[in-house]
Structure 1
Amino acid sequence: MKTFKLISLHVVEDDGLKDIHLLEGLVINKENDTRTWLLEAYVSTDYLEYFSNLLKRSDQTTLRIIISRRENDPAFFFSRSLKINKLSDDKMSLLFSGSVKNSNTYAELLLRHLIEKGLTGEKLLQEFRVKMITKPTITPVQK
């Protein structure tokens, strides 16, 4: 197994991304035959109602995560299960189990987004270079 620090967490919704403020988090690659990953996020209980509703309405949740260092490309975590454990009056643990799609798609998503904005040539290249460093939020296109 390999363990990584969770740096950033967003829930992918139909109309964009919901930013989840992390208190702490980690991601574990179980390195098993089914390529299962575990994600545990410590967050404020302010999110209790949001995640309880998410648990009720969906059997799969897609998360956009960044692990290890903020400058790393985002990856998408496809969760098949969610467990909520209230730790105190103001803190809770979220445990997700699922699979990770490599972050190699971020550059493609960014490029597609910039082209759709009408950028071409040198302006496209300049904007792409800047955005690859700043890593703005881009919602994946569902296929």
Structure 2
Amino acid sequence: MKTFKVISLQVVENDELRDFEIVDGLIINKEDGQSTWLVETYLSNEYIEFFQEAQQRKEDLEIQVVISHKANDPAAFMTTIRCIKEMDEHISIMFEGKLKKQRNEYAELLLDDLVQKGYSGEELIREFREKMVSKPRIPATAKPSI
């Protein structure tokens, strides 16, 4: 097994991203031959209702996590919520799932997003370069129109 630190957590809802401020997090590649990953996040209990409802729906939940360094591209996973533990003013959420095979890399998604927002020419190039450094979050499920 390999473990890594989780830097940020987002949940994909209707092709939009919802950010959750985490206190700490850990992701484990189980290396079980089935490409299974465990993601545990420790966050404020203000989010408990959202995650309890998601767990009760028993549907897959697409999450995106940034692993190890803030500058890394987010990794997308299709998960289920294994358990929710309440601890005073915080909760621990354990997700289990598989890494999504993304057809498009981050640069393609970003470029498509900028074109859809009307950027072109030198302005497009400038925005693209700037955003490749700042790495704004873009849903991994976005459908490129290029």
TM above 0.5, yes or no, is: yes
Q: Report the alpha carbon displacement of residue 121 of structure 1 after superposing the two structures with TM.
A: 2.7
* Deviation for aligned residue 1:91: 1.6
Which digits, 9 at most, give the CA deviation of each residue in 1:97-130, with x for residues without a partner?
1112367622111111011122223222211111
Q: Structure 1 regions of 5+ residues with no counterpart?
A: none
Q: Show the counterpart of 2:12.
A: 12
My pick for the range that moved more, 74-83 or 45-54, is 74-83
Instruction: Work out whether residues 59 and 81 of structure 1, in 8 Å CA contact, stay in contact via their aligned partners in 2.
Output: no
TM-score, normalising length: structure 2: 0.88
Aligned residues: 142
Mapped to 1, the partners of 2:93 and 2:20 lie a distance apart of 11
- Describe the superposition over 1:18-42 as per-residue Cα deviations: whole angstroms up to 9, x where unpaired: 1111011011111221101110001
SS class of match (2:71): coil
**Structure 2 residue matching 1:110: 3-state secondary structure:** helix
Letter in 2 for 1:52: Q
What TM-score do the two structures reach when normalised by structure 1? 0.89
Q: Which residue of 1 aligns with 2:109?
A: 109
The alignment status of 1:29 with 2:65, answered yes or no, reads no
Q: How does 1:1-143 map onto structure 2 within 5 Å?
A: 1-14=1-14, 16-86=16-86, 88-101=87-100, 105-139=105-139, 140-141=141-142
Matched-pair identity in %: 45
8 Å CA contact retained: 2:55, 2:80: no
5+ residue gaps, structure 2, are none
RMSD: 1.9
Q: Is the 8 A contact 1:75 1:102 kept in 2?
A: no
Distance 1:142 1:40, change over 3 A: farther
Structure 1 segments (4+ residues) deviating >6 Å: none
Amino acid at match of 1:11: V
Give the residue type in structure 1 aligned to 2:60: Q
Give the secondary-structure state (helix, strand or coil) at the position aligned to 1:23. Answer: strand
